[in-house]
Each structure stands twice: as structure tokens, then as C-alpha cells.
A and B are shown apart, each in its own frame.
Chain A
């Protein structure tokens, strides 16, 4: 549905790699936060 609307608005570029980029970036950000906040990496947390 959105693809149709996109081609109406911008005929020079089809939506192809855009969503993949967004999902990669989002996934990367979430992975980063898992690493920053959750992953203890062998570090002993004394609580």
C-alpha cells in the first residue's frame, strides 16, 4: 500500500533498499544497547 503511494510521490526512486537500511540501523542500535546495558561480558557485577 505504501509502495503505491511512494511511487506517486517520487517516481524517480522506488522503495527498495530503504526499508532494509532502516531495519539494519534499528537492529544495530538495539544490538548496541543490549551490549551496553545487558551484556556483562564476563565482568563480575557485585549486587
Chain B
């Protein structure tokens, strides 16, 4: 009895200390948030009395410093690298905390080890993010001083809050990573998870704040027609595009992060020396691919919301993006997304080799592959072609009479929904491969699931063709929602019915981790390359929709580069930053490897015995 109470006394103070410390941190974060609000009100007062509603500056050509190279190109490369690494650094802790939680709940150490290993990559990537961030700030102030001066005026103390948040980010990141083994079990593990949660909270806040600068440039709010700051910081930040971009980047970061760590797993799998290592990295690759695809599936819909808000804000901007000069980029986007889906599906089909039980389902693969390829071809079919006058007369118009109709949105919606359903089917078959259902109603369950797939596919095609080509625009646009819901019904029904059907299933054909082809790992390499290029491409769109404005309709761009760069040039730039990113990521992987190596101390020389040295 006495021993127990002594133990309790010895234990409680430490735990209470940790708890109080974290309470203090939480309160600080909330207080900081409240103060941010205070700063906002204070800055509003200052702006009103001092700035006296000054319009946005209109710099002349001579106001832009010239350092002998294209300022836009320099900022483009640095900004894109910062965004790539920032996305990685924000995303990894998000799914790491999830994986850590899974490990905690299931008691399976593998999850915890994998989560810890993912964080090792994040730490080096964090330094690189900061380096590019600092360089970007310097480049922006150096090359666009008038623009940055105005942005400082508009955002004021918010930018300082952003800088201060990095102290919190660093604190939580280092404690989360270096405290991993010290906070491994029991209540301490919950403390560790809480720190991970705070890390994600601060990271997301950083992204949301930086997003507001981007969205302000595209759709300014809180300022008058001539750029005078008339609103407070909340009106400036909460523009019409802010939350759509917040959601889109949040989901996209997770998909991107999953793809990059998948490449790490693929790299380590190919370099593995023992079957245990192969099994570990094979499993890691599968988990990363799963995260990437899971996050990737809702991404088109977040993007659709963003475009809808762009159109709603400015029809001109919306048409520039998807109906005018930048429209062709969405064909390039289709090619990249098709690549991503093909690579992800190929990885799942290859993964079926891990278990004998997959042989039952292998017949499906050619149909899934065929459907995906046909849909991919439809999705990347353009509407308007770049034609010479003679080509136009030969064609009988500017659109092909058969392929032309495949170039408009209804066909694209059919294609993308079918591709998502096929991807889900690949995943569902993979998940079933190692099991046999033991419930009595399995045949009925399978019949229902098959029926749902068939009717969903028919519904999607019907909605796309009928409402898309034979009714008015409003019904055409509205039918895209029924298509999405059809896809969602397949996914939800699939998850629920399979969950129930395989509840106490017999794992008759256990999967052997590590028993997968080497070439499947190349699918894991293809994913982040395609994702990275896609991110760069969309950055080109985001910047170009502003056409010749720094801040749309408010502050004109008068620099030597005040035009939308041609697609070929942009393609080269995006390829450049993608290659640069891959080189840096390889450096990050190499550092992760290096930190695990230990040089063997040199053996004592035999000569010393011969020379008579006393070595006792």
C-alpha cells in the first residue's frame, strides 16, 4: 500500500509538469491568436490616420531593379522550390501523426518505426524550405521593391505573425522528432501525439497565412478599386479564393507528401540487402501510395470549387484560365493526372503478386487498364486545335467533327469519374486478394456491389452524354454533381459492404511483403515526378491568370516580364524546377541514409607490437 502511494507520488509531479507545460503552450497559441486580432484592429486605426487611403503604387519600368537576368525567372524558381519543400514539410507530419496513432492503437511497432523514419526526411527538408523561403524574401524585396512595399502596407503585422509562427513550428518539430523515443509509451505517448497535433496546427496556419498573399494578388479584397486599404486584415485575408485554395492545397500537400515518401520507400526497397529490409520498405511503399491516392481522389473536386470561385469572382479570369489562352494547360494537366492514375493502378496490380489469392482477380486487370487508357485519351483530347488556315479548310472548321465533342467538359467529367471508379476497383480487388469471405450472404453482397458498379458507370455516361450534349447549359453543369455522387456511392458502398463482408474473414492467402517486382518501384518514382510537374504547372496557371497585373485590377505589372510566358518557355521552367527538386530530394534521402551510418573504428596497427610499444 505504502509502496504504491510512494510510486504514485513519484510519478505524478512529472506528468503534471508536462501537462501544465502543454497547457501553457496551448494558452500561448490561443493568446497569440487573440493578439493577432488585436494587431489587426490596431493596424486598421493606424492605416486610417496615417496612410489616409493612399492608392496602390503604379511603378514605372525604371522602378524595377535590373540585375541582368529575368527577375520573374529568378523568383519563379526560388518560389516554386520553396513551395515544393513547404508542401512536403507540412504534409508529412499530417499523415505521420495518423500513422503513429494507428501504431499506438494496434500495438504494431512497425507503424511507429515507419512514422519516425518519415519524420527523419521532414527534418532535413525543413531546413531547405527555410533556406528557399529566406532567399525568396530577399529576391522579392530586391527585385520587386515597390510591389513588396505595398504588400507590407496591406498585410502589416500579419507578416510578422507569420515570421513568429516559425519559432513555434521549429519548437514543435524538434521536440516531436527528437523526443520520439523519450515520449514513447503511456501518457507520454499521448503527449507526443499532442505535440504532433500542435505541429500540424502551426504548419497549417503558416500555409493559410501565406495562401492569403497569393489569393489577394488574384482576387483582392479589403482594398478599394485603386488599392487603398479600406478594410481590416480579416477583410484582406478572407477573400473569395482563400478557403478554396486552403482546402485544395491542404489535400494536395498530403497527396504530394505521400508520393515523395513513396519514392523514398521505392529507393530503399531497391537498395535493400536483406528480406526483412525488403519487406519493411515494400510495406512502406504500399502505405505511401495508399495515402497519396486516398488524398488524390477528392483533389479534382477541391480544384473544381476553386475554379468555380474564380469564375464567380471574375468571368474574365475564369475564361482566361480554362476557355482562353491557358486552356491548353489543362490538357497538359490531364496528361499528368492520367500518368499518376496509371502509375498508381500499375503499382496496385503489381502488388497483387504478393499473394496467391490475387489470381482470382487478375482477369479484371485488362478491363480496368483498358478503361483507364480510353478515358485518359478522352480526357486529353483538346477542343480547339492550333491550326493553320489550310488545315482549317481541310478539316472543315476549327474543331474535328468527331473528336471535337470529346474536348468539352461533359466528356472530361465522364472520363475522370470512370478513372476514379476504376482506381477504386483496383484498390478493392487488391484488398480482397488475401482473404476469403465467410459470411453466408457473400454472393448477394457481391451481386449488389457488382450492380452498383455497373449502374454507377451507366449513370455517369448517361448523365454526361444526355445532359452534356442534348440539354441546356444549366442542366449540363448540374449533372456533373450526379456524376460525382455516383462515384462517391461506389466508393462508400464498396468500403461499407466489403467491411461487413470480410469482417471475420479467413486470411487464406497471406501477403508476403517484399514479394513484389523491382519494376513496380519505378511506378513509385513516377508518382512524385508527375505530382511535382503538376504542381509547377498549376503554379504557372495561378500566376498567369493575373495576366499583366501584380494584383488583379489594382496594381499593374510594369516590369520587363509583364506578360504571360509562352507555354514552351513555361514547360522548360517547370521541368527545370522539377529536376532541381528531385536533386534536392535525393540529397535529403542521402542525408537520411548518412545519419544511420557509423564508420567502423580503425583496427590497432600490428606494427605497434613489433616496435615494442607497451599497449597494456
Using a CB–CB cutoff of 8 Å, the interface residues on chain A facing chain B are: 2, 5-6, 9-10, 12-19, 21-22, 24-26, 28-29, 32-33, 35-37, 40-41, 43-47
Contact = CB atoms under 8 A, between A and B. Distances in A.
A6 to B, nearest CB: 5
Nearest to B16: A17
B602 interface: no
A22 B192 CA distance: 9
A25 B238 contact: no
Contact of B185 (A10, A41, A45): A10
B19 interface: yes
Interface of B: 7, 11, 15, 19, 22, 26, 29-30, 33, 37, 104-105, 107, 184-191, 193-194, 197-198, 200-201, 204-205, 208, 221, 231-232, 234-235, 238-240, 243, 246, 312-313
A21 B22 contact: yes
Given A19-B190, A37-B208, A25 B185 contact: no
Given A12-B7, A26-B197, A43-B234, 11 more contacts: A6-B189, A12-B186, A13-B187, A14-B187, A15-B190, A17-B190, A18-B186, A32-B30, A35-B33, A43-B235, A43-B238
**Majority SS at the chain B contact face:** helix
Nearest to B10: A12
Nearest to B187: A18
Contacts of B190: 15, 17-19, 21-22
B9 to A, nearest CB: 12
B201 A15 contact: no
Contact of B186 (A15, A32, A37): A15
Contacts of B191: 18, 21
Nearest to A32: B33
Contacts of A41: 37, 234
18 contacts: A2-B105, A2-B107, A9-B185, A10-B185, A12-B7, A13-B187, A18-B190, A21-B22, A22-B194, A24-B26, A26-B194, A26-B197, A32-B33, A37-B243, A43-B234, A45-B235, A47-B221, A47-B240
Contacts of B234: 40-41, 43
Contacts of A25: 22, 26, 194, 197-198
Given A18-B189, A28-B30, A32-B30, A40 B238 contact: yes
Contact of A17 (B15, B205, B246): B15
